[in-house]
Structure 1
Amino acid sequence: MIILKKLKWDNCFSHGKENNLDLDNSTLTQLVGTNGTGKSSLPLIIEEVLYNKNSKGIKKADIQNRFRNAGYSINLTFSVDAREYEIDVNRSRGSIKVKLYEDGEDISSHTATNTYKTVQEILGLDFKTFTQLVYQNTNASLQFLTATDANRKKFLIELLNLEDYVEYYDVFRELSRQMGQEISALDGKEKTIVKWLNDNKLDDTTIAPMKKLPEYSEIDEKELRSLSIDFENIAEKNQKINENNTYKQL
């Protein structure tokens, strides 16, 4: 379970220095303020500190407060299951420094890119899914409400990370189809057998005594081979007779 705890930031968007927001004091955190006070920028700040990008595609140069033009910094503490994390981002004059701590230990990589990869692995969510969970603006909500059933299904699958279950469903559906075909084939054979038995009922079902078959000797085998040869010769002679009759007719 991911819990965002405390967000601190300086010089982001319309905000100045030393801002902080407790996110885990209660189940629901409500932001109240007039238009233009920076409420909608907070989800973007959270996206930036965790993924180094934002859902509105705002460039880094436009994130810093343009009246101060002194770069910006963001710090976020959060927990994933039983572990505590802190990420600290400082950007100034086009360069970025990212520090990541796990239970107080620095686990940052040598580059910011690799550190952000570590963050994504810890969260277990890609940027798109995280954004859908954390930030839904009015337009996105309206799109979901007016979307087709197929698009809603796709959205929820991505949102809840159910892709593996969709693959499992496809596998079991194919197996079910194959089993259904096999069952139908067996059912057809069973009906054929039952029909034959019904059409050919025996008047007497008493088990007859076993009869002894004559023994098969070498003499019988020789006679059988001789008869087989005679039949082959007869067949060959008949073919020649038919050919001669055909020539006579011509």
Structure 2
Amino acid sequence: MTGRLEGRIALITGASRGIGRALAKRFCQEGATVIALARTQGALEELDDEVRADGRGTLVLVPEDLRKEEKIDQIAAALYQRFGKIDILVGNAGTLGTMGPMGHIKPKHWQDVLDTNLTANWQLIRYMGPLLEQSDAGRAVFVTSSVGHEPRAYWGAYAVSKAGLEMMVQTWALELGKTNIRANLYDPGRTRTRMRASAFPGEDPETLPLPESHCEAILDLVSVDCPHQGQVIAAVRPE
């Protein structure tokens, strides 16, 4: 590891599994202090054991539900008191919701997907944005999906939430102007995750890239010299 994130403070949501978990481990290996946020405390504790065994970086566990606005506010206040800033925000937490015809989605399922995939990330911008402003090079990356800009039948609330996420982040990026913050989106594409297995239950997971395959690209987006602003960066797949 190169120590690219030495001394940086990074908040990662959805850190208990999949891409978020892979990023938390890699960021720690690169020297960061990682605030790992997820709903599943047991999975976070397992992650902590792995990071401690590796002996690099620092992991701070935050077992909270992002759908609760007051929790995000409290987390932001605690981070300000402890660190005075954050340097990196990765909005990775997401839920697939119900797949099927648009008109068949139950209102509670629709709302849960929008609350998790869109509104929670808006709250992160609201409350964590001021902390990013305290960094010399604040970096924000939100994980999206191709269905956010390429409509696909039966993906319903998930597709709508990702389309909204992309517009929201790109609008925020325009508003950032000449600040030190850069905000972008990352589309990982086909990846061996629990969500992918739910969407494609008959798919052979061995044919899919591992979550760890995205770490390098996201590291580039959170680096101090990242040139992008308001972009959707798609994972590069080998031929």
| Global fold match (TM > 0.5) | no
TM-score normalised by length of structure 2: 0.24
The structure with more radius of gyration: 1
